Amino acid sequence: MLNNQSPREILHQFYIDNNLDDDGGQKSSSVKVELTKKIHFYFPNFDARRKAVMKHDIHHLVTGYSTSLIGESEISAWEIASGCKSYWFAFFIDTSGFMMGLPINFIRVLKAFSRGRRTKNLYSDHISTDQAMDMKIGELKRVLELDIVGPGTKPTIIDFLLFSLFALFGLIYSLLMLPLFPFVLIYSIYIQLSKQKGKN
C-alpha cells in the first residue's frame, strides 16, 4: 500500500509511469513542460529548480495530484497556498501552473488552493529532502496534515477572496512574462532538434 512505502521506494516507478527522467530531471540541462501529448516546451534547468524539484515530486505522492496539465495546476495552487518560502523558482512556476489551470478547471484549482491554506508542505524546510525521502507516505501526510484535509476541501469566502487576489497577481505576472515566450519557443525548437539529431 502506498501509505506504507517511502518516496525513495516509489519515486523511480513514479517517474517511469509519468514518462519522466529517472531522477526527475535533476541532471538534465533542460526541463520539458508538457501541455498535451503533442504540444510541449522546454526551458533551461536552473539550480533553483533542482533545489525544489524533489520536494515537488514528493508533494505529488502525498497530495495525489497527477502530472497532467490539470494535476499540475492543482498542485501549483496547493503549493502557493501552503507556502513556497525561499523557493522562488517554485513560486514562479507554480504561478504559471495556477494560471493555466484557471480556464481549464477553475473549481478544482480553487479547491486545491483552499486545501493548501489548511495544510503544510516541504518547502518550509522543517523536514529535509533526505528525511522526507525515507519517511512513509502515511507519516508525511500526517506531518503535513494531509491526512485530515482532503482534495475536496470546501472553499470559504476568505479562501475565495485570497484566491481572486492571487489570480489578479497571476494575470499581471503572465502579461509581464509574455515577451519571454519567443525565447522559450526558440529554445524549445533547439532542444527538440538536438534530441532528434541524437537519435539519428
- Summarize pLDDT for 137-148 with one digit per residue, the tens: 999 999 999 999
Q: Which of 22, 21, 23, 58 is nearest to 42 (CA)?
A: 21
Pairwise CA distance, residues 130 & 6, whole Å:
11
Whether 200 shows a pLDDT value over 80: the answer reads: no
End-to-end CA distance of the chain: 42
Chain-centroid distance, C-alpha 109: 13
Chain-centroid distance, C-alpha 161: 23
Pairwise CA distance, residues 11 & 24, whole Å:
9
pTM, to two decimals: 0.91
Average pLDDT, the chain: 91
